[in-house]
Amino acid sequence: MLENKKQNPTSLGEWDWEKIPVQTDSLVGRAFAPTNIALAKYWGKRDLSLNLPQNSSLSVTLARIGSFTTVEFNKNFVEDSIYVDGQLQKRTGSFLKKAKVVLDLLRQRSNISWYSQIQTKNNFPTGAGLASSASGLAALTLAASHALKCDISKEELSGIARQGSGSASRSLFGGFVQWDRGEKSDGTDSTAHSLASEGHWPLRVYVVVVEEKDKINPSTDAMELTRKTSPYFSAWVEYAERNVSVIREQILARDFLKLAISAEENCFKMHASAQAATPPLLYWTPQTVEIIHKVWRLREKGYRLFFTIDAGPNVVIFTDDLRHEDIKKELGEVKIIESKVGEGAQILEP
Ligand code: PMV
């Protein structure tokens, strides 16, 4: 028996990511999770299999940009499968591999061993240069835990999402989020938590899409290459952990101008450690550098904005300046995805 598609009651969109009706004898969970952008970045793992970071990190959750996911467990399924935008993904695909880590942890917790069928969709264009692993794995973790009726706190869920993709640990929460590196070797203290809610500081976010291609290197490989070959890696790790406290205080005090300097410095230091790897990891294009200069030029003129850049060429700009049109004009003929500080992941009830 198949269940008819329902309207999504949260106004986030229709149930249009579900191309295959779920079965009435399935355990089903649906969730939305937003993506996030780190101001104090995570770059380097202290444990590869548990996905434990060398340093803590801080991020901003982006409003309404993310992944819608349905997870359906059924005793008759013979394997786990994932459909992205209605397209069945390869068994060997990296998303399915990461998803299985999360699914296995939740199956263990719930004592339900059924396989699952996952249907997911991002509401940002594929190739927008935004990482979908953070929102995708966070939505999957929340939806699957709901389907299996696991009674788990959000912090603990973030530790499970972390094992699928590090940055996914932060997407469960809204606003400003801290992911602690943790000290324990089993990783149970390496979870994210809310630092301040989305109402704390209504910053505007512009994702300047420089290139629409997927990133050249999967982040795990790139982090490992940096750890193993970059002479600047240890300096980065030592700096990064200290810098989290600095950035945390600036966020809590809403000190925009100090945060502007610290967040850009953090971004440069992360990229410098990666650029010093052998072979070098250079994510920037000439246009990336051009946007950096435009941001600095605007700041010299008294506009309040700063940027950060993840493992790709796109530049993410934060501003509390109300002169939005001037800023966009100065950035020139570029594709911009606009957002603001948003809520965390949520369950979508049919
Ligand atoms: O969690 P991953 O594997 O998507 O790695 C994220 C790495 C950065 O985006 C560059 C930094 C961060 O903290 O999000």
What tens digit of pLDDT does each residue of 9-63 get? 444 556 788 999 999 999 999 999 999 999 999 999 999 999 999 999 999 999 9
Instruction: Note the pTM of the prediction, 2 decimals.
Output: 0.94
Between CA 191 and CA 43 the distance in angstroms is 16
- β partners of residue 30: 70
Under the banding of pLDDT at 50, 70 and 90, the label for residue 128 is: low
Atom of ligand 1 nearest to the CA of 133: 4
pLDDT of residue 131: 73
> What's the pLDDT at 134?
94
Main-chain phi, psi angles of 319, to 5 degrees: -150, 150
Which position has the token pair 């070959």?
Answer: 229
Percentage, residues of the chain above pLDDT 70 = 93
DSSP-assigned letter for residue 127: T
The confidence score (pLDDT) of residue 9 equals 41
Ranking 121-125, 156-160, 191-195, 229-233 by mean pLDDT, the lowest is 121-125
Give 165 Cα–ligand 1 centroid separation in angstroms: 8
Tokens at residue 268, please?
A: 């440069």
Residues facing 176 on adjacent strands:
60, 196
Please give the distance, rounded to the nearest whole angstrom, from the Cα atom of residue 274 to the centre of ligand 1.
13
Strands 176-179 and 305-308: unpaired
Test site for ligand 1: of 39, 41, 165, 268, most ligand atoms within 8 A of the Cβ:
41
- The CB of 294 under 6 Å from ligand 1? The reply is no
At residue 325, the pLDDT reads: 93
pLDDT digits (tens, 9 = 90+) for 157-213: 999 999 999 999 999 999 999 999 999 999 999 999 999 999 999 999 999 998 877
Give the position, in ligand 1's atom list, of the atom nearest the Cα of 40.
13
Coil/strand/helix, residue 199: helix
Could you tell me the distance, in angstroms and rounded to a whole number, from the CA of residue 102 to the centre of ligand 1?
A: 18
Q: What is the gyration radius of the CA atoms in the chain, in angstroms?
A: 20
- What integer is the mean pLDDT of 261-274? 98
CA angle 229, 58, 244 (to 5 degrees): 70
Q: Which atom of ligand 1 is nearest to the CA of 167?
A: 1
- Nearest CA owner, ligand 1 atom 3: 219
35 CB under 6 A from ligand 1?
no
pLDDT of 216 over the 60 cut = no
Indicate whether 275 pLDDT > 50. Answer: yes
Structure tokens at 38: 């780190």
CA 113 – ligand 1 centroid, Å: 31
Q: In the structure, what pLDDT confidence band is assigned to residue 5 with cuts at 50, 70 and 90?
A: low
Q: Residue 282: how many CB atoms within 10 A of its CB?
A: 13
Could you give the angle at the alpha carbon of 227 between the alpha carbons of 221 and 228, nearest 5°? 90
CB of residue 219 inside a 6 A radius of ligand 1: yes
pLDDT for position 10:
46
Residue spans of alpha helices (H) in the chain: 94-110, 133-147, 154-164, 219-229, 233-252, 256-275, 286-300, 324-331
Ligand 1 site, residue 310, Cβ cutoff 6 A: yes
Among 149, 150, 151, 142, residue whose Cα is nearest residue 120: 142
Residue 57 near ligand 1, beta carbon < 6 Å = yes
> Quick one: which atom of ligand 1 is closest to the CA of 220?
3
Residue 132 confidence (pLDDT): 81
Question: Whose Cα sits closest to atom 6 in ligand 1?
Answer: 167
Q: Tell me: the pLDDT tens digits for 306-333?
A: 999 999 999 999 999 999 999 999 999 8
244 lines ligand 1 (CB under 6 A): no
